[in-house]
């Protein structure tokens, strides 16, 4: 395996991880921002008010996008398995 191939492999792995994590992180951030705004407006400082909606939102999102996540991971894994002969050269 030459350095260029290893660099490309790590780059594609990191891009795949970012692509899969972004929707989940953006959902949690958006819900958190909305809850924080609500808490600031109403002066309610309950800690469970921030955790429960975020958890429910992330779990709901995961249920919706799980087919896309699995399809993407399967395609990436298949591509890596097909490229294995190039890795041993």
Task: Please write the tens of the pLDDT for every residue from 69-85.
Answer: 999 999 999 999 998 88
Q: For residue 35, how many other CB atoms are within 10 A of its CB?
A: 19
3-state SS assignment for residue 51: helix
Q: What is the pLDDT at residue 87?
A: 80
Helix ranges, the chain (H): 3-42, 48-82, 84-87
pLDDT at residue 21 in the model? 96
Q: Please tell me the distance from the alpha carbon of residue 21 to that of residue 47, in angstroms, as a whole number.
A: 25
Rounded (5°) CA angle 35-20-78:
165
The domain segmentation of the chain, as residue ranges, is: 3-87
pTM for the structure as a whole: 0.80
């Amino acid at each position: 395996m030459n350095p260029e191939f290893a660099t490309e492999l790590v780059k594609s792995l990191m891009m795949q991880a970012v692509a899969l994590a972004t929707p989940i992180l953006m959902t949690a951030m958006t819900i958190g921002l909305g809850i924080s705004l609500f808490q600031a407006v109403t002066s309610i400082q309950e800690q469970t008010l921030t955790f429960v909606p975020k958890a429910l939102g992330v779990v709901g999102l995961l249920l919706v996008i799980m087919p896309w996540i699995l399809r993407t991971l399967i395609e990436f894994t298949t591509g890596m398995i097909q490229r294995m002969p190039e890795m041993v050269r």
